[in-house]
Amino acid sequence: MSRTFYVNGEYVPEERATISVLDRGFLFADGVYEVSTVLGGRLIDNRAHLARLARSLGELAMALPCSDDDIVAAQRRLIEENGVELREFNDDVYDAFGEASEEVIEEARDHSDLSKRIFDSTLAARKDIGGYMAIADVAYSIKRNRVVGIGDQ
């Protein structure tokens, strides 16, 4: 079954989901990447997603092409049409992802002195904020579990 994509205001099957080679985002790499969380077919903390999207677009002086309500309607339709749901992966998938990630990170880190310095700086920062990240992960997991109705309520 083909997945449905939302491209330039239209719902299209995967095989027709294309952009023009003259698209400004394609030509100049102008763009914003934000991710919505969907669990059990439901959007999780979508207001925060929409706020991040607006903030990121604002940083690039890009206008939001439609209203938040239009975005939510498109998200819900895509969730419904694509049958998005909570899925668990077995440990083999996570192990393979971790191994591939290590290879990519090592290759990028060793590319130049600048990339090594950036990598080392990022690693040091992550160690500094690791405790805070763990707290945020726990809070997120509790909220997610409450919304999808799993675990202790």
Pair 5, 14: CB distance under 8 Å: yes
Round to whole Å and give the CA distance between 112 and 36. 34
Mean pLDDT of 92-118: 77
Q: At 34, is the secondary structure helix, strand, or coil?
A: coil
For 127-133, what is the mean pLDDT? 68
Q: Is the pLDDT at 152 greater than 60, yes or no? A: no
Closest CA to 86 of 121, 133, 44, 114: 44
What is the rounded CA–CA span in Å between residue 68 and residue 51?
10
Decide yes or no: CATH 1.20.1250.20 for domain 4-82: no
What are the residue ranges spanned by the domains of the chain?
A: 4-82, 91-148
Supply the mean pLDDT for the chain. Answer: 81
Q: Single out the residue of 88, 87, 84 nearest to residue 5, CA to CA.
A: 84
Query: Would you state the structure tokens that stand for residue 54, as one six-digit string?
Result: 């607006």
**Residue 51 to residue 71: CA distance in whole angstroms:** 12
- Whole-angstrom Cα distance, residue 75 to residue 67? 12
Tokens of 152: 């202790």
Question: Is pLDDT larger for residue 141 or for residue 82?
Answer: 82
Task: State yes or no: pLDDT of 100 exceeds 90.
Answer: no
32-87 pLDDT, tens digit per residue, is 888 888 877 888 888 988 999 999 999 888 888 899 999 999 999 999 998 876 55
How far apart (Å, rounded) are the C-alpha atoms in residues 69 and 66? 8
Taking residues 16-30, what's their average pLDDT?
A: 86
Q: Which amino acid is at 11?
A: Y
SS3 33: coil
Which pLDDT belongs to residue 153?
43
